Amino acid sequence: MDLFKRTSALQPIFANSHLASNISTESYIDVFHSLQMLSNGDTLVSELSLLEKLWASWYIYMNNDILATGILFFATHELMYFGRCLPWLIIDRISFFNKWKIQDEKIPSDKEQWECFKSVLKLHLFVEALPIWLFHPLCATLNISVDVPFPSYLVMFLQICLFFVCEDFWHYWAHRLFHYGWLYKYIHKQHHRYAAPFGLTAEYAHPVEVMSLGFGTVGFPIIYAYIAKYQPSLDLPSLHLFTLSFWITLRLFQAVDSHSGYDFPWSLHNILPFWAGADHHDDHHHYFIGNYASSFRWIDYFMGTESGEIAKANREKRMKRRAEIQSKKTQ
């Protein structure tokens, strides 16, 4: 097949007749093996990592960027979400781990797990699938790249850190809003069906809530890409679809883990005290209020919305100290 006529955005990489004539496109494996063999004779291909070759092979084989991105994004979401839920489902069935269960008297039943799984799967298929499949045209408009090589590790790390902070800020305020009046009664209450959460409940929510809170995950990368394209004076590194995919994977892991209901000695918040973790979000489900942030603890701390008995006692101590200081100033 003439690769010069391919529609993939990776075409410029293969603007070389030698490459074009030596790549078999009969199957995805054929494309990948062709790139592997070309590594010995072509400098450009030899500099690609294994992951970059796998990525490039997918887009070359599909020969349709919209379809390639849609399948890649949807498959990544499903595999990462349910794949991360699976270990927690197994742990819930092993009594040895109950010692680390935060609400150890509330182990989800098989029926609860099954009902939650069906609800979340329907949400993925009928609410989230369409935006995922239509994402590539937006990528093309905002110069979100699918090319290889990938950006440097430093660029990806800094972009993902930025997305974590922005998403946490958005999640705090949107989540807090969902706890008011009719928004809670008709929308957010569904997510609070389980006072003791388990992994699958991370995306067990009303479609309006899923789309609203989901903006924090996808919306800020889109805003970043828009600024990078239309404000060139800022000299922001462009966004790559691999970076976005990796960020969404990390966000899914964070959401599932925070709903796991387990707090182990090696849990991340015991290493990074500012990380929220399962104990932080479990208190939110247990007390139905407070701890609105997703990834970090600092916004709830500064806004005085920490949840749980210990947090309540700490707030009262801080209020007492402020009152004492104010009393001394007025004397």
pLDDT value of residue 17: 36
Q: Is the pLDDT of residue 11 over 80?
A: no
Domain extent for 35: 1-63
Q: pTM for the full model? A: 0.87
Give CA–CA dist 230/204, Å, rounded: 37
Q: Of the given ranges (15-29, 70-84, 141-155, 286-300), which has the lowest mean pLDDT?
A: 15-29
Give CA–CA dist 57/132, Å, rounded: 21
pLDDT value of residue 321: 82
| Count: domains in the chain | 2
Average pLDDT over residues 258-276: 94
What is the band of 4 on the pLDDT scale with cuts at 50, 70, 90? very low
Give CA–CA dist 186/172, Å, rounded: 19
- Domain check: are 102 and 183 in the same one? yes
Query: Angle at which helices 153-177 and 207-230 pack, to 10 degrees?
Result: 140
- Domain check: are 183 and 274 in the same one? yes
Average pLDDT over residues 3-27: 49
- Domain check: are 98 and 157 in the same one? yes
- Domain check: are 46 and 188 in the same one? no
Q: Of the given ranges (32-46, 112-126, 193-207, 279-293), which has the lowest mean pLDDT?
A: 32-46
Q: Is the pLDDT of residue 301 over 60?
A: yes
pLDDT per position as a tens digit, 252-262: 999 999 999 99
239 sits in the region (left: phi over 0; alpha: psi -120 to 50; else beta) called beta
- Domain check: are 184 and 316 in the same one? yes
Better pLDDT: 270 or 313: 270
What is the band of 5 on the pLDDT scale with cuts at 50, 70, 90? very low
- Domain check: are 89 and 144 in the same one? yes
Average pLDDT over residues 176-192: 95
- Domain check: are 52 and 17 in the same one? yes
- Domain check: are 49 and 136 in the same one? no
pLDDT value of residue 228: 96
pLDDT per position as a tens digit, 201-239: 999 999 999 999 999 999 999 999 999 999 999 999 999
The identity of residue 63, as a single letter, is: N
pLDDT per position as a tens digit, 37-56: 877 766 677 888 999 999 99
How buried is 100 (Cβ within 10 angstroms: 0-12 exposed, 13-18 middle, 19+ buried)? middle
pLDDT value of residue 30: 85
- Domain check: are 153 and 295 in the same one? yes
Among 15, 30, 63, give the residue marking a domain's end: 63
- Domain check: are 102 and 14 in the same one? no
| Max Cα–Cα distance, the chain, nearest Å | 88
Mean of the per-residue pLDDT values for the chain? 88
Using alpha carbons only, give the angle 119, 120, 126 rounded to the nearest 5 degrees: 90
Average pLDDT over residues 4-8: 38
Average pLDDT over residues 281-304: 93
Domain membership flag for residue 247:
yes
- Domain check: are 209 and 311 in the same one? yes
Among 63, 87, 105, give the residue marking a domain's end: 63
- Domain check: are 29 and 158 in the same one? no
Domain membership flag for residue 327:
no
